[in-house]
Structure 1
Amino acid sequence: MTDKLVGIPDEIVLNKIYMIRNQKVMFDFDLAALYSVETRALKQAVKRNIVRFPDDFMFQLSKEEWLEVITICDNLPQNAKYSPSSPFAFTEYGVVMLSSVLSSERAIKVNIEIIRIFTKIRKILLDNKDALIKVEQFEKQMIKQDQKIELLFTYLNKFIDKEDTPREQIGFKVSHGAKH
């Protein structure tokens, strides 16, 4: 079996993954384009099988969320921007489930490629998790060091302030006008 089933470059799929509601998702119109089906047909297939798509698999964006996406993203297709309904957002689980709803050979092959990319993303995040933890620990240590240095400078400033004021002489006091 070849590594690329339908030859979609990873970058194309990666550019179609968005963070919505703290989840990595793909929009119905992007998936429809990758599967070579109409968005309307994809949505109809999902609606006919809605029990297969709980909220952690797929959700519809609110109008406010969709307007925010349109404002932020400049690579959206023009026809999607002016659609009367907001898009469905599919999580990784939803993409997997789509292969059972869209049973074309292309849909299955595209799904396999998308899932491989989601898996790569997860692996990269896990590989970097240890590094992120070490960076956080280092930052905490630096904050503690900064606090200690700040305290040291506070003490030093107190000594400097005391040096500016004349000290009272201690020991035997000799009056300069007396003759012995």
Structure 2
Amino acid sequence: MKGSSAVEASEASALVPLQSIERLIYTVRGQRVMLDSDLARIYGIATSRLNEQVRRNADRFPEDFCFQLTHEEWSRLMSQIAISKTGRGGRRKLPLVFTEHGAIMAANVLNSPVAVQASVQVVRAFVRLRELVLSNLELARRLDELEKRYDGQFKVVFDALRQLMSPPPAPRIGFRVTKGGEKQEADG
């Protein structure tokens, strides 16, 4: 039997590619989280079994590992990810969401080879998203730095361009009368 569980574990990780897991990570209350139903599917168990294990091991799931969504958060998330409204046979309770640490802890309390193997993919997805966010922040910081550094130089260039683009003053046509009553040609 040991060999079959190892096969199941490798099949589970093969069934859930990293990119698929990344699409299941959302931001709620400023934290990146996964829905209980998505995590259960990845771990190859029923959502009710996952939630049951969380209830039985509540001391292992502090608020920064796992929390229940409010009605408002759930409606916002449903509209954001295009989940249909729950109807017959649907969800009866507000979902739990798991942070990266909560997802690891869930795999530990489930104590199944499939969950442990799949949790590696889940952690990789969280880490990859964190790296993407950090690289975007670094890029934004560098752009700001370049903008500040070159603002003065570009201002001179833009001022010169504006002067070149502005039309020269139109020449005045006609004569100008001076105080002495003499007529002079208008300066052009």
Structure 1 residue ranges without an equivalent (≥5): 154-159, 161-168
Instruction: For 1:19 and 1:81, locate their aligned partners in 2 and report how far apart those are by CA, in whole Å.
Output: 27
Aligned residue pair count: 160
Instruction: Specify which of 85, 90, 105 is matched with residue 98 of structure 2.
Output: 90
Structure 2 residue ranges without an equivalent (≥5): 1-8, 163-168, 170-176, 183-188
Equivalence for 2:53: 45
The answer to whether the 8 A contact 2:19-2:125 is kept is: no
Q: CA RMSD in A?
A: 3.7
Share of identical aligned residues, percent?
Answer: 30
Equivalence for 1:174: 180
Cα gap change, 1:105 to 1:140, in 2 (>3 Å):
same
The equivalences for 1:14-93 within 5 A come to 14-74=22-82, 82-93=90-101
**Is 1:120 aligned to residue 124 of structure 2?**
no
Measured against aligned partners, the alpha-carbon deviations of 1:63-101 in whole angstroms (never above 9, x if no partner) come to 111111112212579679941211101011111111221
TM normalised by structure 2 equals: 0.69
Measured against aligned partners, the alpha-carbon deviations of 1:20-54 in whole angstroms (never above 9, x if no partner) come to 11211000001111111111110010011111111
TM normalised by structure 1 equals: 0.72
Equivalence for 1:157: none
Cα gap change, 1:65 to 1:100, in 2 (>3 Å):
same
The structural deviation recorded for 1:119 is: 1.4
